[in-house]
Amino acid sequence: MNSNSKRSSILLAASIVVKNNGVEKLTLEAVAKEAGVSKGGLLHHFPNKEALIKSMVEELTSDFFSNVQERVANASRETGKWGRAFVQAIDDDLKEEQEISTALSAALFTNPDILKKFQDQYSVWQNNIENDGIDPVRSTIVRLAADGLWYSEMFGLGALDKDLRDKVIQELINMTE
């Protein structure tokens, strides 16, 4: 296994530990065990827990950022493209269980400063969504509803069944057109 795939498997293991056991159980030992590597092997890639969490956040949010940007770049319709891209990226994350929620939770509870890049990107997206060619209140409601859906799934707060979730996503997309 090459170094990048070993690194990725360690990050996935960290997400699994957080998802299954909670942030408080995220230790280097627990991650090494889940990843099937020695603690020394883990430390080769991540010198401490903060570096591990920072890498989780960077990798998973980078994938999410790329998803939104790619959808915007490939949009067939200009009006509402940012809102649609955002909703669709959240839908992808929920369907594919990208584990971004575990990374964000780990960062929030251990070092909220790690979330700065994510917060900055959200500010840019909010500005783009407000200036997306549809009513800025409507487009902001779409973003906030998509966030709410994401967070309800993330924290298990009244999570929706698949059919209802799909209908909600479609209605949010419809609101951007």
Q: Provide the pLDDT for residue 64.
A: 86
Task: Write the single-letter amino acid at 30.
Answer: A
Taking only the tens of pLDDT, the chain with its 177 residues reads 556 688 888 988 888 888 888 788 889 999 999 999 999 989 999 999 888 888 888 887 888 889 999 999 999 999 999 999 999 999 998 887 656 777 777 777 777 787 888 889 889 999 999 999 999 999 999 999 999 998 888 778 888 999 999 999 999 999 998
Determine the Cα–Cα distance for residues 1 and 124; give it in Å rounded to an integer. Answer: 38
Alpha-helix residue ranges (DSSP H) falling in the chain: 3-21, 28-35, 39-45, 49-73, 81-96, 100-110, 116-130, 136-154, 162-175
**Is the whole model's pTM more than 0.75, yes or no?**
yes
